[in-house]
Every structure is written in structure tokens, then in C-alpha cells.
Amino acid sequence: MPHHRNLAPPAQRGADRPVIHDELRSHYDALYDLLLNGRRARDARPVLDVGSGDGLALSAIMQGTPLHGIAIDSAATGPWLGPSDWALVQADAQRLPFADSRFRSAMMVDVLEWLRHPAATLREIARTTNGPILIVQTDWEGLWFQVDRAEIGRDLVRGFTKGAPEELRGLIKSAAEAAGVTVTQMSSVSIETNRLDQGSLAWDVLESIRRFLVIESAQVRARRFDDWRSELQLAADEGQFSMLVRRVVALVEAGET
């Protein structure tokens, strides 16, 4: 399972409170607007969040809004960092313990690549949701570290992203078609950052890459990784660094195409 890939900050940072990367705030605001899909907040709840993990992405999207709902995950999660007024239920998204049309919105952030049966899961979410379903998946193929506009460390990044689904848009379209739901909107969102200070998005993504390549899978020697990391830091100090990451964002609704 590709559990090493995530845009969330490392668990130890922030301890028991949600940490939201500044670089992603406007992206999360846009996801909230998309989930409302022109409705008033009271017409968009309750919301089902599928594959919540510790609730960080949910918190980032819902913080300070009047939406509430139920978060589900098939795994027992660690400390809950999601909104305190949301119920957390352990369940498999392919067999949801909820009645038909129980929710008026649903969302699923960075879960698609984990699913064994995306179409069956989407069909089950659509059964319980009378309203839009927001699907967000980081497109790991689009993760780039640049120095002076040229990509560096491609092989290291590929070691981290190996196994992630390609052609995400096609995957979503075919899963939706097989599930009998309609894709009403789909776009690729590019997030670019020049920051590489502690706690920044790029810093935390590099921490995740190091943890996976050097410690968990031991495919790369620490010195090699750290040399690459230093080169990026040097470039950042000179204003020549950037990291790019892409996310595919789709809205689907029950109903035949």
C-alpha cells in the first residue's frame, strides 16, 4: 500500500492540533467552494469524508465552516486531528454502514490510489450521497523539484512516486462510468512553491521522501539524499528553487452519463 505518499505534514509536527501548510490554504478554500457547488452550506450537509486518516485534510477544508458530517476510514487512525464535532467511524468505503441518500455531499482526498475497486467504491459512495462527490488525488507524476527552472533529483523523486497511478483523469472517468455516476467537473491544479524553510510544504515533502527512500525502503544512501537536499537548500537561499506538485480535482454526481 502506498502509505508513504501524502501531502500532510509529518505526524509529530503540531502534535495534537491540525497543521495546515500555508501554500495549500487557497487550494483548500477552492475545494470547499467546489464541494458547496453553488449551494448554501445548510443544503450541503451532512458530508461524508471517505478515507479521512487522522482528519488533517478534512480539517484543512472544513475549519471555520458550518459543515459537519461523518468521517470514515477502514484503518484505526491515530489521534484525531479533524474537526471535533465530526463523528469518526471505522468502515470500508466499499460497504458503508449508512442508508441510501444519508449525505448531501461526499469527499475523498488522496484515497483513490489506495482503492482496490475504485468503481465499486464510487458506486457505494454515490448510493449514500444525494449530491456532489469531490474527488481529489495528488498526481505524483507531477512532483518536480527545480533549480533554476531545471528539474534535479528525478531518479530520487521517481523512487518515491513509483507505483502511483498514471493517467488519473482517465482512471476517474472510467471508474465513474463503471459506477454509473457523471463527472461534472475535472481539472488539474498546479501548486508551485519557492519556499524551503522548516515547516514549509517542500520541506515536509522532502522529509517524507527521505523517510521512505533512506529509512523505510533503504534504496538510497543517506549521504546521496542529503547532498541532493543541500543542493536544493542552496538554490532556495539564492531564490532559484521551486517545487511543483499537481492534483487532479473532480466533482461527480449520481446519474448516468
Residues that bind ligand SAM in the complex, under the rule CB under 6 A: 6, 8, 50-53, 56-57, 72-75, 92-94, 109-111, 114-115
Closest contact distance (angstroms) between CB of 71 and ligand SAM is: 9
Contacts of residue 41, Cβ cutoff 8 Å, sequence gap at least 6: 65, 66, 67
Q: How far apart are CA 241 and CA 257, in angstroms?
A: 43
Nearer to ligand SAM, 117 or 195 (CB): 117
Nearer to ligand SAM, 229 or 247 (CB): 247
Contacts of residue 138, Cβ cutoff 8 Å, sequence gap at least 6: 5, 7, 110, 245, 246, 247
Give me the residue label for grid cell 482526498. 109
Nearer to ligand SAM, 106 or 109 (CB): 109
Q: How far apart are CA 255 and CA 176, in angstroms?
A: 10
Closest contact distance (angstroms) between CB of 56 and ligand SAM is: 5
Nearer to ligand SAM, 8 or 176 (CB): 8
Nearer to ligand SAM, 59 or 242 (CB): 59
DSSP state of 19: -
Q: How far is CA 80 from CA 3, 19, 52, 250, in A?
A: 18, 12, 10, 26
Closest contact distance (angstroms) between CB of 26 and ligand SAM is: 17
Closest contact distance (angstroms) between CB of 91 and ligand SAM is: 7
Give the alpha-carbon dihedral of 222, 224, 227, 233, to 10 degrees.
-70
Closest contact distance (angstroms) between CB of 17 and ligand SAM is: 15
